[in-house]
Amino acid sequence: MLRLMRRLPGLPLPPALTLLPYLYRPFPFLDAMGKRYPEGFTLRFPAMPTPAVVFHHPDAAKEIFALGADDAHAGQINAVLGPILGKTSLLLLDGKEHLRQRKLLMPPLHGERMSSYGARMIALTEASIATWPERERFPVHDRLQAITLDVILRVVFGIDEGELFHRLRERLVGILELATNPMFLLPWFQRDLGPLTRWNTLARALREADEMLYGEIRRRRASGERGDDILSLLLDARDEQGEPMTDSELRDELMTLLAAGHETTATALSWGLRWILASKSLGARLVRELETEGALPGLAPERIARCALLDATVREALRLQPVVPMVGRVLQRPARIGGYDLDRGTPVLVSIYLIHRRPDLYPDPTRFDPDRFLRQRFAPHEWLPFGGGIRRCIGMAFALYEMKMILATILARAELRLPLFGKVREVRRGVTIAPSRGMPLVMERRAS
């Protein structure tokens, strides 16, 4: 058996004391670790038999992302999400099964189809802005999350009104809100300890949502009703053996797309807005670009999609505050990563956050500077907010497109500013890192 030839250092603390700052002060914790251990470090978490090895050099990320389906698995790392997403969720599968599901899910989230979603994204954003209060402080994160949830419900199910939509939406909001408690990332807290506990409430909401999801799957299968939504495409999808997806596979993938696809995008949007509003000139430059590209006043999706500075702004927001700060794999065979020989069974993590803050890649890394993306192209192991390799986020194109549509609509339709007081911090919401206090801002006036 191979041993670590050179050992990576780690904090000389009991696992529970490492977990707390990781859960509650993730960015300062990672900053301190990155400074102290420039080559990478090990992390020991409670109930984890083998310490995880964290790398924050882009070359190591490249090596990890190049690992094949049989070399490394991610399902084990994502297992905490199992009770909510289901055991056939793409996030939990590995090997051949993972590749099969990924192929089935890919087409609706790519290329041509994107443009058919643009007008709906813009309309939902305009409808939301119409309800924002004027000249008073309000948390925008919830509003953005409602927009991204409605987008994903529409795109995934093809429904945006009616009783089912409202009931399902209500249950999902409840589930996702409860699931953002960082404690639920720990298997110990994923237990039903009686009717008054949060896990019990979560389990009940999940049962009710499942009933609706299975009901809709069966109804659509039986009626043959199809639209331009993802469920329609998945109902007709066949794998290489000509087999369709089962009801429970469909349920798990729908839940996965809903859960993975809206909170992440809303959080990235909150950070993006914060930086645009903190800058003296960026908002005006973005509006000028929309005008020059002919995207205003009508908000034409294909013209918004062409705006280079808007694209750079979205990328820079995802660089500076990557919503998911770390991704991981468990080695299924020994491998050499970052010059270290690692045993089979070792969890290897890529710190997206620390790579994004390397001054050798991004000079003056804590500064929000979208122009760096206009001056330079970054490799997939240098800019990696969506992870990489065969597990890279399948919603990447969708999320980037959606962020541009929503930000352009907000810039065109609302005059916003940051409140005079109150610093925004990074706080954990489940697996994502979001702005504190729901990212408060003030709308001075609505534009027509």
Query: Of 88, 264, 313, 332, which lies in the binding site for ligand HEM, with binding defined by CB under 6 A?
Result: 264
Give the C-alpha separation, 92 to 421, whole Å.
42
For ligand HEM, which residue of 122, 237, 245, 323 counts as binding (CB under 6 A)?
323
Q: How far is CA 259 from CA 220, 312, 319, 342, in A?
A: 22, 26, 22, 33
Question: Judged by CB under 6 A, does residue 348 bind ligand HEM?
Answer: no
> Which element (helix H / strand E) includes 43?
strand 41-43
Assess 321 for contact with ligand HEM (CB under 6 A): no
In angstroms, the CA 433 to CA 292 distance is: 34
Q: Which of 324, 337, 408, 433 binds ligand HEM (CB under 6 A)?
A: 324
Label the pairing between strands 326-331 and 347-351.
Answer: antiparallel
Q: Does 265 bind ligand HEM (CB under 6 A)?
A: yes
Segment contacting ligand HEM by CB under 6 A, of 164-172, 235-243, 321-329, 334-342: 321-329
Query: If you ran DSSP here, which 8-state letter would residue 122 be given?
Result: H
CA–CA gap between residue 120 and residue 192 (Å, rounded): 39
**Helix or strand run (H / E) with residue 21:** helix 15-24
Q: 24: which residues sit within 8 A by CB, 6+ positions away?
A: 182, 428
Binding test (CB under 6 A) with ligand HEM, winner from 30, 74, 168, 255: 74
Q: Is 102 in the site for ligand HEM (CB under 6 A)?
A: yes
Q: Contact, 106 vs 397, CB < 8 A?
A: no
Rounded to an integer, what distance in angstroms lies between the CA atom of residue 296 and that of residue 298?
5
Which is nearest to 236 in space by CA: 248, 251, 220, 252? 220
Rounded CA-CA distance 306/64 in Å is: 32
- What tokens were used for 81? 């999400």
Return the residue of 256, 332, 351, 409 that touches ligand HEM, per CB under 6 A.
Answer: 256
**Residue 126 Cβ, how far from ligand HEM at the closest point, in Å?**
20
Min dist. Cβ of residue 391 to ligand HEM (A): 4
In the complex with ligand HEM, which residue's Cβ is closer, 261 or 435? 261
The minimum distance between CB 106 and ligand HEM, in angstroms, equals 10
Please say which residue, 201 or 248, places its beta carbon nearer to ligand HEM. Answer: 248
Q: Which stretch binds ligand HEM (CB under 6 A): 12-20, 275-283, 322-330, 410-418?
A: 322-330
CB closer to ligand HEM, 22 vs 398: 398
Smallest distance from ligand HEM to CB 369, Å: 19
Nearer to ligand HEM by C-beta: 157 or 199? 157
Considering only residues 362 through 401, tell me which ones interact with ligand HEM, judged by CB under 6 A: 385-388, 391-395, 398-399
- Residue number with CB closer to ligand HEM (155 or 296): 155
Dist. CA 322–CA 120, nearest whole Å: 26
Q: Map residue 369 onto helix, strand or coil.
A: coil
Q: Does 234 bind ligand HEM (CB under 6 A)?
A: no
Whichever of 11 and 323 has its CB closer to ligand HEM, that residue is 323
Among residues 10, 26, 118, 261, the one that binds ligand HEM under rule CB under 6 A: 261
Measured in residues, the chain has a length of: 448
Q: Which residues pair with 302 in a beta bridge?
A: none
User: What is d(CA 258, CA 275) in angstroms, rounded to the nearest whole number?
Assistant: 26
Question: What are the Cα distances from residue 191, in Å, to 88, 178, 188, 199, 286?
Answer: 21, 14, 7, 6, 48
Q: Which of 268, 300, 348, 406 binds ligand HEM (CB under 6 A)?
A: 268
* Measured distance CA(358)–CA(299) in Å, rounded: 36
- Minimum CB–partner distance for residue 157 and ligand HEM (Å): 12
Per-residue three-class SS string for 336-400:
EECCEEECCCCEEEEEHHHHHCCCCCCCCCCCCCCCHHHHCCCCCCCCCCCCCHHHCCCCHHHHH
CB closer to ligand HEM out of 200 and 232? 232
Q: Minimum distance from CB of 415 to ligand HEM (Å)?
A: 25
Min dist. Cβ of residue 104 to ligand HEM (A): 11
Stretch near ligand HEM under the rule CB under 6 A, chosen from 121-129, 215-223, 259-267, 417-425: 259-267
Binding site for ligand HEM (CB under 6 A): 74, 90-91, 102, 109, 256-257, 260-261, 264-265, 268, 323-324, 327, 385-388, 391-395, 398-399
